[in-house]
Amino acid sequence: MLIPVPAVLEARPGDPVGLPADVECTRTDGAAESYRLEIGASGVAFSAADAAGEARGRATLRQLGTTSTPLLIEDAPKYPWRGLMLDVARHFFGVDDVLRLIDLAALYKLNVFHVHLTDDQGWRIEVPGWPKLTTIGAETQVGGGAGGFFTAADYQRIVDHAARHSITVIPEVDVPGHVNAALRAYPELWGKDAPEPFTTWSSPGHSLDVRSEVVHRFLADVIRALPGEYVHLGGDEVEGLSHDDYVQFMWDACSLVVEHGKRPIVWEEAGVAKLPPGTIVQHWSDAKPARAAAEQGLPLIMSPAPHTYLDQKYDETTELGLTWAGAVDVRDAYEWDPEAVIDGAQVLGVEAALWSETTETREHVDSMVFPRLLATAEVGWSGRRGWEDFRARLGAHGAFLEGLGVPFHRSTQIEWSKR
């Protein structure tokens, strides 16, 4: 019932073996994140190439539980980027909810946790020198609720917790569009009166004044406030800017990230702009700008909405979720090829995205994320996979999710085993 399926999983003869709670791990040569487990009568031999490989091996041991038949597992990821995005802007989720979701993601060998921190409906991160981003910009969310935000200490706690699982946290501050919350706090960022609060799930279409020196200073301060190697700048669904202004802004903004010693990430729309070398582009809908980015030699994260957008309904009976990308049931999340749009050499990996337009509680998050995230995890990790095999393993794996207290969606595509 292991998910993702290991590269090598070889059953050995012998009686079941008890697994100790804390197995010692030794270092060995191998690919990044690789590990090896040999379980037999003499105990458990566990080795890994690095700390991340040890974390992935411990995730496997956690799924195996307290006993196992004798096994040989040799394992390493197909792609170096395997992520989950959580939108905390449309509906805010606090630190404890985020830490729990990171813990669950780690069990399925994900190594990236992408936090969508800002949007029209709310600004969720402190920035020194710009206090109204949180005193005004954070006070709303979809439906008109109270919203919320992460202090710098809160956010650092999330980063540190993820690092203990060898997971990298990616902060996203969406510019130059999707900025209504920021404009309410600081109208000078667009040179007009403060807009009204925006509490529905779409977008009013406002954009930053991309030629303004104030905007440049604002963006520099935001980048400095975000710890880590990466900054995701969004760049999607921008209205009200000319093509020339948009492409110049995306070059300038990504270059500013580079100047601060970080690596920029953008949504696919920015692929039409000339971008600094090393910029990562995230594909979600349109193959044309994704291919334009690939033609620049840039790496891509594959997040096609019909397969990875966890805000979409499972089927027409699902209470939560949207339908603009069609229903995304477990098979849709599993049966797709990350290398269908661009050459595989430029595919950095895969990422599932939970936009939170309709998810208001931890239980909502769990039911929309699980079990579809397990399909994404296997797409990103496993070089060998097949739907019928995955379907059988997932059906047996439901008891493990129940044991974790996860109220997952019981897709009718899966024959769930009783606990």
pLDDT band at 390, cuts 50/70/90?
very high
- Is the model's pLDDT at 201 over the cut of 90? no
Is the model's pTM score more than 0.95?
A: yes
Active site residue 237: yes
Q: 81-403 falls under which CATH superfamily?
A: Glycosidases (3.20.20.80)
- First vs last Cα of the chain: how many Å apart? 13
pLDDT digits (tens, 9 = 90+) for 46-78: 999 999 999 999 999 999 999 999 999 999 999
Sign of CA pseudo-dihedral 178, 126, 309, 95: negative
pLDDT band at 419, cuts 50/70/90?
low
Distance, in Å, from the CA atom of 389 to the CA atom of 394, rounded to the nearest integer, reads 9
Q: Which of 74, 237, 335, 402 is catalytic?
A: 237
Strand 118-119 and strand 122-123: the pairing is antiparallel
- Is the model's pLDDT at 190 over the cut of 90? yes
What letters, b where the CB count within 10 A reaches 16 and e where it falls short, cover 356-385?
bbbbbebebbbbbbbbbbbbbbbbbbbeeb
Burial label, 66 (beta-carbon count in 10 A; 0-12, 13-18, 19+)? exposed
pLDDT digits (tens, 9 = 90+) for 271-287: 999 999 999 999 999 99
Q: Which runs of E-coded beta strand occur in 156-269?
A: 168-175, 230-234, 263-267
What is the overall mean pLDDT for the chain? 98
Burial label, 129 (beta-carbon count in 10 A; 0-12, 13-18, 19+)? exposed
Give residue 346's pLDDT.
Answer: 98
Distance, in Å, from the CA atom of 177 to the CA atom of 180, rounded to the nearest integer, reads 8
> Nearest-CA neighbor of 270 among 351, 322, 222, 210?
210
Q: How many helices (H) and strands (E) does the chain have?
A: 13, 17
Give residue 1's pLDDT.
Answer: 87
The full set of domain ranges for the chain reads 8-75, 81-403
> Nearest-CA neighbor of 221 among 118, 128, 85?
128
